[in-house]
Structure 1
Amino acid sequence: MAINENLTQGLVRALGQGVDQVALLVEDLESSVELWTGLGISDWRIYTYSQDNIATPTYRGKPGEFKFRLALGGSSPQVELIQPLRGPSIYHDWIAEHGYGLHHLGFFVPSIEKSIEEFENAGLDVIQSGRGYGVDLDGGFAYVDLPGSPLVLEAIEVPKRRRPSESL
C-alpha cells in the first residue's frame, strides 16, 4: 500500500522528521544489554513500566494492563531494548506474529497530545499509549501502525525529569 501525501504530511506534523530511537523486542533484557554493550552502546538506563507508574496506559483503546522492562542506551539514534513482562500489549502481539527483533522507530516530540491529534487527523489509530511516567507525571508515548510498513512508529514526549535508573 502506497503512503498518500495527506498521511505523509500528517506523520511529519505528528513526529517531525528525524528518527530519535530504534527499538527492539528482546527475550532477556540483561543478556541483550550485554550484547549491545559489546557492540559499543553504553550508558544504559533501565526502567520497568506498568499501570503502577504510568498514569494512563492504554492498549487498543482500552485501559492497559501491560508491564515491560526496557533499557535505553546511546544516542543519535538511541537504542531501546524492550522485554515484555505482562500483556496484552502491542509487544506481545508483535512477538506472536513476527518474533523478537526490530519493532519500532521512535520520534521525540514536544507534545504527545498534539502528536495523537495529528495521528487521528491522518486517519491513524493509536494502538498503545501512556502518559505521566516522569517524576512530575509528565511525559508520554503513543504507538501507531503505519500502513504498508513492517514497523510501528512511536511518538515520545520525554519527561523533564525521569525516574532514577534501575539496576539490571
Structure 2
Amino acid sequence: MDKHTPTLHLVCGKVAAGKSTLCNRLAAHPATLLVSEDRWMKRLFGPELHSVEDYIRFSARLREVVGPHIDDVLRAGLSVVMDFPANTVANRQWMRDIFETASVAHVLHYLEASDEMCKARMHARYARGEHEFLVTDDQFDLITSYFAPPTMAEGFNVVTYRDAD
C-alpha cells in the first residue's frame, strides 16, 4: 500500500481565474476528495441565491457544516481539495483552522490572473453553459473588490500560478 500524507488543498484566485479547473486536476490524485462550494450551494440554496449578499449569508451556513466534515475526512487519511475561494484573510483563517485542527499538511494554490483575463474566461464559460452560477461584470467587480492575495505573513505554503490555463 502506498504511503499517503493527507493534505488540505486550498485555492485562491478571482472569479474565473481557473480555480475549479485546477481543483479537478488536483482531485484526480489517489486518496483525494473534492469538496466544491458551488455544487453544495447550488443544491442547497440555489432557488434562494440571487445576490452577493445571499452568497455571503449562505456560504457562512455551509462553512459551519463543511468545516467539521472536512476535518473528519482529513483525519480519516484522505486528502481534500477545497474548491472554496480562499480569497480573503478571513476565509483563509477559517481554512487554516481546519488543517491545524486536523494536524495535516496544506497547500494554498494561488492563481494570479488579470481582471481582463478573468472576465473573458467568465463570459466564455457562461456562453458554453459550463458553470453553476452566473456572475455579471458588476458582480465580478464587487467580488474582486474584496479579493486579498495571500501574503508571506499569513504563513501558508503557497504555490503560485500566473495567468493559469
Would you call these one fold, judging by a TM-score over 0.5? Answer: no
Greater helix proportion: 2
Structure (1/2) with the larger strand percentage: 1
Which bracket does the TM-score occupy, shorter chain normalised?
under 0.3
Normalising by structure 2, report the TM-score: 0.26
